[in-house]
Amino acid sequence: MEIGVFLLSVFKSLGTSLAGQYVKAFWRWLRGPLRRIRELHARYNALVSENAALIERNTALVHENAQVVAQNQQLVSENAALVTRNQALISENAALSKKNAELEKRLDNELGHHIPGFENYQKCIDGYGNVFLEDFKTVRKSGAEPTRACILCAQEGKKTLINQESYDFTRTGGRAGPACPIHFIVTEANC
């Protein structure tokens, strides 16, 4: 107890003495840097926890980026498959277009559309086997006979019209059908 009383008396005497004034001034001066150290320590702790949160967020973003890269690679492979399929379809389309052009040409040949001046005519065969071109677009009066042309004359560039009354049984060997004055009766065999 005596030591405590002694120290108390020393502190009291220091508080009133000039040395005590210097000690108080030193502690006041020392409080500013100590407060700054406490503030910096608190800020350091806040930055450490913020850095830990950023590291965790970065890890999540790296994982998400890996998933996006995997999806991107899958999409690239799907795109490559689609490009291959598209090229196959383009080739198939080209082949079908070529076949379609051939069929259209064949149809035009059969219809007579390929013959200049006979675009409205189509190739017809009557019940007797006679072949001729018949106008299928021109509007006629009801009951009127259709306009017919000789297919061989049309191929030669001539427009020889024939009608139902132009049968010449003596020149056609008694065969019935529309006759051309130049080619007589035209059949599939001589067309």
Residue 171 in this model has a pLDDT that exceeds 80: no
Q: Is the pLDDT of residue 117 over 50?
A: yes
Is 4 or 55 the better-scoring residue by pLDDT?
Answer: 55
Average pLDDT over the chain reads: 76
Q: Please give the pLDDT value at position 49.
A: 96
The ranges assigned to domains in the chain are 2-108, 115-191
The per-residue pLDDT for 19 is: 65
Integer Cα distance of 104 and 114 in angstroms: 10
Across 44-142, the runs of DSSP E, i.e. the strands, are 121-125, 131-135
- Express as a percent the part of the chain with pLDDT over 90: 32
Which of the residue ranges 10-24, 59-73, 107-121, 150-164 has the most confident prediction, judged by mean pLDDT? 59-73
pLDDT at 163 exceeding the cut of 50: yes
CA 89 – CA 98 distance, rounded (Å): 14
pLDDT over 70 at 143, yes or no: no
Q: How much is the pLDDT for 170? A: 44
The b/e string for 147-179 (b: 16+ C-beta within 10 A; e otherwise) is bbbbbbbbeeeeebebeeeebeeeeeeebebbb
Burial label for 186, CB within 10 Å (0-12, 13-18, 19+), is buried
* Under 8 Å between Cβ of 155 and 98: no
Element (DSSP H or E) covering residue 158:
none
